[in-house]
Amino acid sequence: MKKLLLFTLILSAMMMTACGGDSATEKLVKKLNSSYDYDGKEVELVCYPTIAEHSITLVGNGTVPIYLRNSKWQTSQHAFITTKLNFGKEPNCIWMPEKYTLGDIEIFDSEENSHGINTKLKVKGIVRYTGKDWEKYTIVKEENENPKIKMPKIVGSKSAAERAEEAKQKAEERRKKTGDPNDYSFIFIVSEISAAK
């Protein structure tokens, strides 16, 4: 039994090394999700891009959502970052025909070389934290300080007090889950794509 367990562990480690991502990328992603140190800075990730499986991929505003993963064997649900690429056959873009399979998808690097969806790539981009100012939403302000002006309430909209309470609840959920109330949600703006070695 012990020999089987040891063999299984060794085989798992070999498979993770052979098809896994870059350990520097894994460390960087942990830092991205636990501090604001990289806000506004360019970072480089070694990853395997993909699109959502079993769904319709829509081109919206000339962009396509893509998922960056550690391994080509993982699905989009295992992505460590979701970003968008411009649609087209230019540098740093993604292209696919109207009806496609994953094999039809092309990702163009900065030198306009075409890569398939399961190609290991280096992706550089700027990190912008979107939830950095979450605390300002926990403060209740009077929405209409001038009693002469009657502001209509939009059906389904939340009051300032409701939004503040919701922000406090989300912070408490994050604190319970990770020990940190901060919101480290961010967008990743791709600036350069190249083949990884």
Query: What is the span of the domain harbouring residue 153?
Result: 134-170
Contact 109, 92 (CB under 8 A): yes
Question: Are residues 47 and 103 both part of a single domain?
Answer: yes
Question: Cα separation of 86 and 195, whole Å?
Answer: 18
* In a domain? residue 123: yes
Question: Are residues 29 and 44 both part of a single domain?
Answer: yes
Q: Could you tell me the CATH number of the domain that includes residue 122? A: 2.40.50
Question: Are residues 146 and 56 both part of a single domain?
Answer: no
* In a domain? residue 177: no
Question: Are residues 151 and 123 both part of a single domain?
Answer: no
Question: Are residues 76 and 23 both part of a single domain?
Answer: yes
pLDDT digits (tens, 9 = 90+) for 85-123: 999 999 999 999 888 888 899 999 999 999 998 899 999
What pTM value is reported for the model? Answer: 0.70
Distances (CA, A) of 83 to 65, 131, 191: 6, 16, 11
The identity of residue 11, as a single letter, is L
Q: Give the DSSP H or E segment for 163.
A: helix 160-178
pLDDT value at 142 more than 60: no
pLDDT value at 82 more than 90: no
* In a domain? residue 6: no
Lowest mean pLDDT across 55-69, 155-169, 174-188: 155-169
Identify the band that residue 56 occupies on the pLDDT scale cut at 50, 70 and 90.
low
* In a domain? residue 2: no
